[in-house]
Amino acid sequence: MRLTPDLLLQGYAAGIFPMAESRDDPEVFWVDPRMRGVLPLDGFHISRSLARAMRRTDWMLRVDGDFAGVVDGCADRVDTWINPEIRRLYLALHKRGQARSVEVWDGNELIGGVYGVVLKGAFFGESMFSRRTNASKMALAAAVDHLRRTGFTLFDTQFLTPHLATLGAQEVSRATYHARLSHALGVHSADFTAAPVGSFQDVVQRMTHTS
């Protein structure tokens, strides 16, 4: 049975997510990790060097400026789980307003970003990419700030990587994750479009003021 956007959302609501073995593998399978990565929205670690870079940059932040470009940027690596079917599904979700991207732009050039699925109070982070130093970190910081300001309670990173751990991500058990997911799915007031994303200077000011 071919996956549809509705089936995809049902999977996320049940705590599972899709992947492919590689970009050339047409098959998609469901993943249900025993340990799950989450990024607490009040626990993002912004280092002094990152905060300084965000204060000084003239890069711009955008939301959904080029969602397909972010997906393609994330897939533009030697090994990727984003095959054409995965790409099709997330672009379909984006058209429905249920997949979003936070992007970093240098003038008219997309240089970094993160994308994921939104469902009630949960954001299921799928992937991020960077074409310049710190661009993906800045995008992630902006995404955390934006989600916190617009009523979300859960940022699911799927897995915990050493890179994400340095930014404050944690690993929790499947049972703990499902409890947090259940809470997030009971949040009906979250609205990704409720506030402008602002500038990197706005983001770092808010994050360092509340940390």
Q: What is the pLDDT along the chain (211 residues), one digit of tens a residue?
A: 678 999 999 999 999 999 888 888 888 899 999 999 999 999 999 999 999 999 999 999 999 999 999 999 999 988 888 999 999 999 999 999 999 999 999 999 999 999 999 999 999 999 999 999 999 999 999 999 999 999 999 999 999 999 999 999 999 999 999 999 999 999 999 999 999 999 999 999 999 875 4
Which residues sit opposite 158 in a β-bridge? 37
3-class DSSP state for residue 78?
coil
pLDDT of residue 209: 76
DSSP string, 11-75: HHHTT-EEE-SSTT----EEE--SEEEE--TT-----HHHHHHHHH---EEEESSSHHHHHHHHH
